[in-house]
Amino acid sequence: MKKLILFFGLSPFLTAAVHAQSSVTLYGIVTANVTYSNNAQTAATANGGRPAGGAQVAQFDSGTSGLASSRWGLKGTEDLGGGLKAIFQLESGFSVNNGALGQGGTAFGRQAWVGINADRYGTLTLGRQGDTSVEFVSALSYGWYWGNLAIHPADYDNLNFTHRINNSIKYLSDSFRGFRFGGLYSVGGVAGNVTQNQVWSTGISYTGGAFAIAASIINARNPNTSLYGTNANASATGNNLGSAGSATAPESNPVIAGFASARTQQTVSVATTYTTGGAIFGVAYSNTQFRGLGSNPSLNTFNYSGSTTLSTVGASLRYQATPFLRFGTSFDYTEGGSVGNKGGAKYEQLNLGTAYSLSKSTEVYVTGAYQHASGTDSLGRPAVAAIGYLTPSTTNKQVAVSAGVKHLF
């Protein structure tokens, strides 16, 4: 009886001790901004085949044109002993405009994974997550200085984490003398052809003092499905890379929309930064090949064959002027997309941004971008400017400015 009394008397403390080994954290970003664009299409095939529209547009969005998109999530960890921890993360994007889910209505569209962390040996996770370019290269090539207006055209290299990898297994090492490495593999899930929709990627980074460098490669089979078709609203048979538009709808992602029939997409990216005082200087390069065009005949609207390449080289400067005020600027040059006797396109873009912290959790910001396009895009048409996730311009030039507020919790 004394033992029973002792057990029940101590049980609340024993329970507290067990729970002390586990934790769940609620976190998120709530952001809203007003974005101005000097030119936007309203249709794609009016006026003798040239896009119609061209009016100025001001719109309210939930960070998709600002510093960061709105999201909330849960992170959890449980100490298993012996240096092992069980971990998980669930993250959902949403719009403050109307409360709608992001990522095409996917409940935990940004991230959803579970795994094991082992001291000194790294982390193994399974689920919906980012590839190694997101883990290693993105932090050096993008940042909170100029935001989503500054993505490479159509985010074709996924350095802005537009596309998540479903059904994936990922390993990330711990840091060893400044080095980290990792790899990801996503099973295709197609009966009789396990490699049809597979995705694999690998990456490495090094940080030593003021210098940092990272590189990654990602290879996606049938990218229209395995890479671009992973959201809840993705088409099972249609083009998920973009659209040629219509007499009543504008183009979407004209930089890459014509390459949906590719058998394979492979992207190599590398970025480096050097920090001195409050300034960070950066250089980045990415190269994407769409191989085996025409492999999916139903998506080969333009009867392409062979392969095509897009590449971007960029330079950036980020400066922390005071503990509260920061500035950033970058310039990117993108070219490629030629197929057969169809010449490719060129895109030049200048980005600017500034943010002021009102507290540790809240800041106001202004970002801006100017893009100039030339040549022939993936739709076989004169290339039009297309900044960030905005509606493309009717001409080869586009200017966009975004101002908003971001709150972390």
- Looking at the chain, the whole-number percentage of residues with pLDDT higher than 70 is 93
Convert the pLDDT of each residue in 268-319 to its tens digit: 999 999 999 999 999 999 999 999 999 999 999 999 999 999 999 999 999 9
Q: How much is the pLDDT for 62? A: 81
Q: How much is the pLDDT for 113? A: 98
Q: Work out the average pLDDT over 210-230.
A: 97
Q: How is the chain split into domains, by residue range?
A: 36-64+125-408
Q: How much is the pLDDT for 333? A: 98
Torsional sign, CA 233, 310, 319, 132: positive
Q: How much is the pLDDT for 52? A: 87
Q: How much is the pLDDT for 54? A: 86
Tell me the residue length of the chain: 409
Of 4-13, 87-96, 145-154, which range is least confident? 4-13
Structure-token pair, residue 395: 């001409």
Whole-angstrom CA distances from 55 to 37, 51, 249, 255 are 9, 12, 15, 21
Q: How much is the pLDDT for 97? A: 87
Torsion of CA 251, 252, 255, 261, to 10 degrees: -100
Q: How much is the pLDDT for 202? A: 98
Tell whether the model's pLDDT for residue 143 goes beyond 80.
no
Tell whether the model's pLDDT for residue 220 goes beyond 60.
yes
- Looking at the chain, the whole-number percentage of residues with pLDDT higher than 90 is 83
pTM across the whole model: 0.91
Q: Work out the average pLDDT over 157-168.
A: 95
Alpha-carbon span 219 to 223, nearest angstrom: 9
Q: How much is the pLDDT for 8? A: 39
Instruction: Look at residues 358, 356, 389, 386 and name the one whose alpha carbon lies nearest to residue 372.
Output: 386
Report strand pairing: 122-129 vs 84-93.
unpaired
Q: How much is the pLDDT for 18? A: 46
Tell whether the model's pLDDT for residue 118 goes beyond 90.
yes
Decide: helix, strand or coil at residue 68. coil
- Cα angle 354, 358, 359 (rounded to 5 degrees) comes to 120
Q: Please state which architecture CATH assigns to domain 36-64+125-408.
A: Beta Barrel (2.40)
Alpha-carbon span 23 to 301, nearest angstrom: 52
Q: How much is the pLDDT for 111? A: 97
Instruction: Look at residues 255, 238, 337, 252 and name the one whose alpha carbon lies nearest to residue 293.
Output: 337
Structure-token pair, residue 39: 């030119």
Q: Work out the average pLDDT over 87-110.
A: 94
Cα 6 to its chain centre, rounded Å, is 55
Alpha-carbon span 204 to 133, nearest angstrom: 9
Convert the pLDDT of each residue in 25-49 to its tens digit: 999 999 999 999 999 999 987 555 6
Tell whether the model's pLDDT for residue 9 goes beyond 90.
no
Q: How much is the pLDDT for 3? A: 41
Alpha-carbon span 60 to 274, nearest angstrom: 36
What is the secondary structure of 291-316 as a DSSP string? EEETSSGGG-TT---EEEEEEEEEEE
Q: How much is the pLDDT for 144? A: 54
Q: How confident is the model at residue 14 (pLDDT cuts 50, 70, 90)?
A: very low
Convert the pLDDT of each residue in 350-408 to its tens digit: 999 999 999 999 999 999 999 999 999 999 999 999 999 999 999 999 999 999 999 99
Q: How confident is the model at residue 6 (pLDDT cuts 50, 70, 90)?
A: very low
Q: How confident is the model at residue 7 (pLDDT cuts 50, 70, 90)?
A: very low
Q: How much is the pLDDT for 46? A: 57
Instruction: Look at residues 238, 147, 164 and name the one whose alpha carbon lies nearest to residue 199.
Output: 164
Q: Work out the average pLDDT over 200-204.
A: 98
Q: How much is the pLDDT for 47? A: 55
pLDDT, averaged across the chain: 91
